[in-house]
Structure 1
């Protein structure tokens, strides 16, 4: 027996870390899986039985192990979590998902002896917000309390508003009229991060055994004036500002919209997005200190690059 063979027998070559990922067929989760694979991790993606989304086959072809599992069955989830270095959640939904499903996933991770858990937070700093100011973030706070009481190391990724939404569901930048829409002060610093950067950072954190309870990142911190300047630069046409009113008025609008169109079963009804903007413009959930430099290989996408993608 040669010396290298003997050494290998005495000290078996360490396998790449195994990360169990829930929510891998969503946009963010799919990107997290891809970044984990790029970093050499083994990925075990948990999907519901019969899931036929194209992302499932894509992940399988890229090297992820696809495991169909009943998310209501803690025993099945526990078996699916065996040998994982970290369980990462990127699920999306209301109480039945953010609190109930994630609690079962947490119980399974603990039962399987998984050392670390990353919950599906990916938001502004809800730890600084009063209860009742944002329904979806209240659910994350509630689950976070359960997570803090569990015998497992936890890390929440807080990343501000997804920058991608500025040109989609949260159109603060109004290209048609060349205005930046806002409430309150045009000088309030706001945190923005792309979905891609959030996924890359989450993947790095999942493979980092030394992460603290919270990590905060922002691809760019900008005021409304900064958004105005970025839009002007990328389009070559001057953008102005459109102040819709005070934060007090926005709060009244949220209450009225929620009363007229409650949509309690929708994850992102119109009033939910308004709550998020109200939170941001108060300045209360501002992310600080930022942990952008923790993984220096990540290049943070600036606002102007996202705005430049609008036709």
Structure 2
């Protein structure tokens, strides 16, 4: 019997990919969207076989009606407190009201469970929602994919193509960082949504690669030897982030404030995944660091 999956945030890049992967696996897929959603985005979803349900997302009863006969709700929502806390809570309340058995929250990030509260604003929001989710009766599965591999293309200190440099903090040139492509994340999420026995927490990574390993991959892909540089101690980096945040209060209303991006970097060098679930689903193939780096480093 086909499973029915409801995806919130389906008009976003990750949400759209999750819908495609679910359809590929034979699921009946519905997308929960705002009533004011761009008609072109709705049509894009319908063309791939998604049943689009437009509702007033401030109304739990309307959300519950959309959740009728759904086996699992997948949240691919992105935002600040009004989304990750308020909207996700309404989404969960609607799912509970409709008797949905399973829920996948929008935890697509580094596994924050062992990190110190207060060090990452966006992780703190997810941590708060987790407490609300775990107080409910629904069975939940969080997918921790580390960082999306796309950030390697954005000239961050970890890999700066303009400066031809690779940076790291502390004594962590050999510290392995968790990266997962969005395609790999979507495929794994689809499998979890269809897996009634999926555990509470799942860590994945397309590849785990240290700054020194990135240097070696870049050299193999291009023949170039990028400059390795220690940027500062982790302690100094943490103090710099606190000062940036204090000096830029407007960033509290920005999803990716400059200091928030630095918080993500700090988190990546503070924890990494130790129990990968990559092999849970045998039909998945994972992108390697060399293949990914070779796809955009010239």
TM-score (norm 1): 0.92
Output the CA distance in 2 between the equivalents of 1:190 and 1:61.
37
**Matching residue within 266, 271, 284 for 1:278:** 266
Cα deviation for residue 75 of structure 1 reads 0.1
Cα deviation for residue 171 of structure 1 reads 5.2
Cα deviation for residue 170 of structure 1 reads 3.7
Cα deviation for residue 139 of structure 1 reads 0.6
**Secondary structure at the counterpart of residue 269 of structure 2:** helix
Number of equivalenced pairs: 295
Output the CA distance in 2 between the equivalents of 1:83 and 1:75.
15
Per the alignment, residue 227 of structure 2 pairs with: 240
Per the alignment, residue 83 of structure 2 pairs with: 97
More displaced, 254-263 or 289-298?
254-263
Output the CA distance in 2 between the equivalents of 1:295 and 1:244.
39
Cα deviation for residue 107 of structure 1 reads 0.7
Output the CA distance in 1 between the equivalents of 2:69 and 2:155.
39
More displaced, 48-57 or 78-87?
48-57
**Secondary structure at the counterpart of residue 283 of structure 2:** coil
Cα deviation for residue 35 of structure 1 reads 0.5
Instruction: Indicate yes or no: 2:49 matched with 1:63.
Output: yes
Q: Which runs of 4+ in 1 moved over 4 A?
A: none
Mark the runs of 5 or more structure 1 residues left unpaired by the alignment: 1-13
Cα deviation for residue 271 of structure 1 reads 0.6
Output the CA distance in 2 between the equivalents of 1:78 and 1:104.
9
Output the CA distance in 2 between the equivalents of 1:169 and 1:231.
14
Aligned alpha-carbon RMSD (Å):
1.3
Is the Cα contact below 8 Å between 1:30 and 1:55 reproduced in 2? no
Mark the runs of 5 or more structure 2 residues left unpaired by the alignment: none
**Secondary structure at the counterpart of residue 151 of structure 2:** helix
Per the alignment, residue 226 of structure 1 pairs with: 213
Cα deviation for residue 176 of structure 1 reads 2.4
TM-score (norm 2): 0.96
Task: Return the index of the structure with the highest Cα Rg.
Answer: 1
Cα deviation for residue 97 of structure 1 reads 0.5
**Matching residue within 9, 14, 17 for 1:31:** 17
Output the CA distance in 1 between the equivalents of 2:30 and 2:186.
16
Is the Cα contact below 8 Å between 1:163 and 1:303 reproduced in 2? no
**Matching residue within 121, 140, 143 for 2:107:** 121
Output the CA distance in 2 between the equivalents of 1:62 and 1:171.
38
Cα deviation for residue 169 of structure 1 reads 6.8
Q: Deviation per CA, 1:172-220: give whole Å up to 9, x if none.
A: 2112232112211111121111111011100110001100101110111
Output the CA distance in 1 between the equivalents of 2:39 and 2:227.
42
Output the CA distance in 2 between the equivalents of 1:197 and 1:54.
26
Per the alignment, residue 194 of structure 1 pairs with: 181
**Matching residue within 152, 158, 181 for 1:166:** 152
Cα deviation for residue 306 of structure 1 reads 2.3
Q: Deviation per CA, 1:117-158: give whole Å up to 9, x if none.
A: 000001111110111011100110110011111011000001
Output the CA distance in 2 between the equivalents of 1:56 and 1:169.
33
